[in-house]
Amino acid sequence: MPLDSRPHPLNSLGFAKPERDTRVVVAMSGGVDSSVVAAQLAEGGYDVVGVTLQLYDHGAALARKGACCAGRDIHDARRVAETMGFPHYVLDYEDMFREAVIDEFADSYLAGATPVPCIRCNERVKFRDLLETARDLEADCMATGHYIQRKMGANGPELHCATDANRDQSYFLFSTTPEQLDYLRFPLGHLPSKEATRKLAAKYGLSVADKPDSQDICFVPDGDYANVIEKLRPGAGEPGEIVDMDGRMLGCHDGVIRYTIGQRRGLGIGGLAEPLYVVRLDPEARQVVVGPKDALSTRHVPLREINWLGATPIGSRAEWHLSVKVRSTRPPREAILRPAAGGAVVELLNPEEGVAPGQACVFYETGSSRVLGGGWITRRA
């Protein structure tokens, strides 16, 4: 067999061809994580193209730190590309981001839910529209700086938690579809710590090596969700009553959008015999319903918009025994998943507190790092 006709071994991205012939689009936020991914791949000889998304009007954010996709971050991403010698493009996705993420964020709060816009951004912008742009650029794959792992299984690529549990972002990526997973790569998921990422950034001489992590939702610069919603939806902060579970008025509030399920502080109804928590929001009646802590306990969680990543169809069984997360900061808990018309119902073997409509419920294979998908928590009928 002639030497040049032999099959090429798989490169680190899983393609049977030389690195120089493998084009990879890297989604660059301007932070240290995606910068290291781009630098690492460029050093490895890949045909790297960096892309940064302008997701909102960043003029007001130029002087602040702690949020992605602002003016400073675009500048930082460009500097990394210049340092490592690969092309970099900035794409204006403001209209798309507003329609796909910001508008739903505001409307969800108005409906008494507690949304997770970062999941919608990954689902509807980065892993849908940007991924299609990567295909248009004739890239073989798209890489991101997310802390999650893509592993090859018997039936194709699987989604797994990051090695570093403290950095794991599987909760925010549950809606990644099998087709997207086939195209995506997550080079940082195996690293033992964020410190290891920063050491790599220093090794490559990147200016962002010591850049602080993003803390806020990018379009909520100071964490004041209610203020943003009132600007988007004037009149959203209408006052109303705080009532107990029997409907007795205990006080007044200045907008349902300022409260979340499980909240205890800031209710303004002190002097009671026991602490009270927000157990339900009724935006139509403009009421915040409060009750004792045990009223927060939930065993059955209805879900919609299920994304399933299991090897066999979700409807192939009446029930699935697995583990779930109902909040990003909580560890997985044992549960039973039962498919239902229009979604599914999760039965928690041990009740959880503060389960809120609008949050995600993410599925994990019991005793494994594998992510099996998830769904959106909806209001009980």
Q: Which residues have a catalytic role annotated?
A: 121, 218
Given the structure tokens 């204006």, which residue do they identify? 92
Neighbours of 142 (CB within 10 A): 24
- As a whole number of angstroms, the distance between CA 191 and CA 146 comes to 11
What proportions of the chain, in percent to the nearest 5, are helix, strand and coil?
A: 30, 30, 45
Crossing angle of the two packed helices 225-232 and 103-110, in degrees rounded to 10: 100
Phi-psi map region of 358: left, alpha, beta (phi>0 left; psi -120 to 50 alpha): left
Whether the CB-CB separation of 37 and 204 falls below 8 Å is answered with no
* Cα–Cα distances in angstroms (integers) from residue 253 to residues 197, 241, 269, 287, in the given order: 45, 6, 10, 8
> What dihedral angle (degrees, nearest 10) is formed by the CA atoms of 12, 13, 15, 16?
-10
Lookup: tokens for 48: 């790297």
Three-class HEC string of 217-235:
CCCCCCCCHHHHHHHHCCC
DSSP one-letter code for 197: H
Nearest 5 degrees, angle CA 289-CA 236-CA 283?
Answer: 30
Whether the CB-CB separation of 346 and 320 falls below 8 Å is answered with no
Point out which residues pair with 289 in neighbouring strands.
Answer: 243, 280
User: Count H helices, E strands: the chain?
Assistant: 9, 17
Contacts of 241 (CB under 8 A, 6+ apart): 249, 251, 252, 253, 286, 287, 288
Nearest 5 degrees, angle CA 331-CA 335-CA 339?
Answer: 125
Q: Which helix (H) or strand (E) holds 237?
A: none
